[in-house]
């Protein structure tokens, strides 16, 4: 079985701070990590590899330092890694990102499964996985909290707000992972030694290697743009109404809500 896992290097915070002047994300002093959902996606690929044998390739698009994230994946047990890094990719929105990833998947050749995280904690759109499946014209199962493979059939429980549904499809397919899927393993000592050594198995591809035109990726190929980003002001302190009996407190609350034209 061939499995490709798409991973993203993200800032280690779920409270992205925005520079109010420039509207861009403040990255200084914020360490980078492997996106949490992507760790679950990789763990699932490694479990399948442990159970039935599989070749696991990790794929990311990012700046040169994203290689550190790929090394972490290799140290967890991935077989090889591809870094898409080229100035032409800069400023890609989800549309352009999925375009570059799809070209890389085609270049990698056949696969049975693509695993992605549900959502990256910085961009937060949850669009890249489904877009990639659409571009490759394969089935997708999103929000997977369990995954089983039986020959060429993949079956997942999809987490919903009020329960779950069981969805089954044929491979090749793309699955987006959520944290309920599994508990990611730690990097092994041997894995760290090999992955962070001089001969780490990481290929670096630019636009020319993907056989696509530079106009299909990057800022110019990105139909979405963020006009303004800001952190909402903190909520003001609530008002406590603790005087009197329960009826009196309820009356005071109703009067206050009327005054505010809520009721």
Ligand X SMILES: Cc1cc2nc3c(=O)[nH]c(=O)nc-3n(C[C@H](O)[C@H](O)[C@H](O)COP(=O)(O)OP(=O)(O)OC[C@H]3O[C@@H](n4cnc5c(N)ncnc54)[C@H](O)[C@@H]3O)c2cc1C
Q: Which parts of this chain interact with ligand X (CB under 6 A)?
A: 6-8, 16, 25, 35, 37-38, 59-62, 91-94, 97, 101, 116-117, 119-120, 122-129, 219, 222, 225-226, 229
CA dist list (Å): 35 to 42, 66, 117: 11, 11, 8
d(CA 59, CA 84): 8
Sheet (strand 55-61) strand order: 163-170, 153-160, 139-150, 173-177, 113-117, 2-6, 55-61, 80-84, 202-205
| Maximum Cα–Cα distance across the chain | 75
CB of 150 to ligand X, least distance (A): 25
Of 92, 11, 20, 4, residue with least CA distance to 56: 4
Of 108, 115, 117, 158, residue with least CA distance to 138: 115
Nearer CB in complex with ligand X: 77/218: 218
The residue sitting closest to ligand X, measured at its beta carbon, is: 123
Tokens at 86, concatenated: 């080229």
CB of 105 to ligand X, least distance (A): 11
Q: Are 222 and 95 in contact (CB under 8 A)?
A: yes
Nearer CB in complex with ligand X: 18/252: 18
Nearer CB in complex with ligand X: 219/254: 219
CB of 199 to ligand X, least distance (A): 23
Nearer CB in complex with ligand X: 126/252: 126
- Per the omega criterion (within 30 degrees of 0), is the bond before 27 cis? no
CB of 146 to ligand X, least distance (A): 18
CB of 125 to ligand X, least distance (A): 3
Angle, CA 130 vertex, CA 153 and CA 24 arms, to 5°? 150
Which CB contacts under 8 angstroms, 24+ apart, belong to 28-32?
32/65, 32/68, 32/69
CB of 135 to ligand X, least distance (A): 13
Nearer CB in complex with ligand X: 129/191: 129
Of 109, 23, 85, 121, residue with least CA distance to 217: 85
Nearer CB in complex with ligand X: 73/187: 73
Nearer CB in complex with ligand X: 71/258: 71
């Amino acid at each position: 079985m061939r499995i490709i896992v798409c991973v993203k290097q993200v800032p280690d915070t779920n409270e992205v701070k925005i520079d109010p002047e420039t509207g861009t994300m403040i990255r200084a002093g914020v360490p980078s990590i492997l996106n949490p959902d992507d760790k679950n996606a990789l763990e699932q690929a490694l479990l399948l590899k442990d159970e039935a044998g599989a070749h696991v390739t990790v794929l990311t698009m990012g700046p040169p330092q994203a290689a550190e994230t790929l090394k972490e994946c290799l140290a967890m047990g991935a077989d090889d890694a591809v870094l898409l890094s080229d100035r032409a990719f800069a400023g890609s929105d989800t549309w352009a990102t999925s375009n570059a990833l799809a070209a890389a998947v085609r270049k990698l050749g056949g696969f049975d499964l693509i695993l992605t995280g549900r959502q990256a904690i910085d961009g937060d759109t949850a669009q890249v996985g489904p877009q990639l499946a659409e571009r490759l014209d394969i089935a997708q199962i999103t929000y997977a909290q369990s995954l089983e493979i039986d020959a060429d059939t993949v079956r997942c429980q999809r987490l919903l707000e009020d329960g779950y549904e069981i969805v089954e499809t044929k491979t090749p397919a793309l699955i987006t992972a959520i944290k309920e899927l599994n508990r990611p393993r730690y990097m092994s000592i041997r894995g760290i030694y090999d992955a962070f050594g001089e001969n780490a198995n990481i290929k670096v591809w630019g636009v020319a290697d993907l056989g696509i035109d530079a106009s299909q990726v990057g800022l110019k190929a990105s139909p979405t743009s963020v006009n303004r980003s800001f952190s909402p002001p903190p909520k003001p302190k609530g008002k406590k109404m603790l005087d009197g009996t329960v009826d009196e407190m309820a009356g005071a609350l109703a009067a206050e809500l009327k005054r505010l034209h809520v009721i």
